Amino acid sequence: MYLNILNNKFTLITSTAIIIIPFYIYKTYRTLKNEYQEKLLFYDRHNCVVMYNGTQGMSGWPPHTGRIKLNLKKENCLEVIHEPVLYFIRTAKISLDVAFMLLGINSVYVALKQARGRGVKIRLLVNYEHCANKLSEIKSLIKEGIEVQTYISNKPGMSSIMHYKYMVKDYTKCGGFVFTGSLNLSETGFLNNYEDIVFTSNFYTAQAFHENFEECWNYIVMDNKTLMNRTVLLDINFA
């Protein structure tokens, strides 16, 4: 009888193992496969060219191979066309240097705050003449601990502007990621214009953009300490 009990327990354990072990192996396989696919998608999305074709949609954004047509009636339309920009920001882990003439997309402000909340160090350069409509949003970034500098031209009107359109993400001496192109971060740019965005993980490209940002940032920091610029910034409560 004792042997029968042992045999029954052995049979139960064996049967359970036959069921559990393959399930565990399959679950591990699926997890590893998903992680690999995510890494592959991450790489593809950081080495591609996205084209916005007026009201016709956008193309070149992995995993899509053809044109993504826009349906402005759908609630997630803006989320879809903003995805390349938002993905770049949302996947930042260490640092994010942003140089844009203007920043006019609310979802970008949200993504920047969320990135800062994850501990990402963020610096933002904007052109003074183009930030008047977004002062409250920019100030909200400053409250979150995001460093902001505005380029103030010493020439009349807008004869000289900070016209950059790029971001440098997670730059180190070993690598980094760059987002650049013709696109201004405005709804007009996304919905109406013919624009391009280039994403690359090429180290030398990331290094060049990083060095340019550092040079521009340091220059503007010093320039904004002058009496004229400090007066301008005080008028909008930026100093």
pLDDT, tens only, 66-119: 777 776 656 667 788 899 999 999 999 999 999 999 999 999 999 999 999 999
- What order do you get walking across the sheet with 67-68 strand by strand? 67-68, 58-59, 48-53, 194-200, 175-181, 165-172, 95-100, 121-127, 147-151
Contact 98, 122 (CB under 8 A): yes
pLDDT above 90: residue 6? no
For the chain, what is the mean pLDDT?
A: 86
Task: Tell me what pLDDT residue 82 has.
Answer: 92
Task: Tell me what pLDDT residue 107 has.
Answer: 94
Does residue 105 sit in the same domain as residue 159?
yes
Residue 136 counted as domain residue: yes
Task: Tell me what pLDDT residue 19 has.
Answer: 66
Residue 82 counted as domain residue: no
What residue has token string 């030398």?
204
Task: Tell me what pLDDT residue 200 has.
Answer: 98
Residue 1 counted as domain residue: yes
Task: Answer with the residue of higher pLDDT: 198 or 14.
Answer: 198
Structural domain containing residue 147: 89-235
What residue has token string 């052109």?
127
Query: For the purposes of burial, counting CB atoms within 10 Å of the CB of 163, is it exposed (0-12), middle (13-18) or buried (19 or more)?
Result: middle
Task: Tell me what pLDDT residue 34 has.
Answer: 72
DSSP 76: T
Alpha-carbon span 145 to 141, nearest angstrom: 7
Alpha-carbon span 81 to 208, nearest angstrom: 28
Alpha-carbon span 25 to 228, nearest angstrom: 67
Q: Give the mean pLDDT of 219-237.
A: 88
Residue 59 counted as domain residue: no
pLDDT above 80: residue 141? yes
Instruction: Using pLDDT thresholds of 50, 70 and 90, give the confidence band for residue 145.
Output: very high
* pTM metric for this prediction: 0.85
Of all residues in the chain, the percent with pLDDT exceeding 90 is 57
* Alpha carbon distance, N-terminus to C-terminus of the chain: 88
Residue 56 counted as domain residue: no
Does residue 157 sit in the same domain as residue 227?
yes
Residue 52 counted as domain residue: no
Instruction: Using pLDDT thresholds of 50, 70 and 90, give the confidence band for residue 12.
Output: low
The tally of domains found in the chain comes to: 2
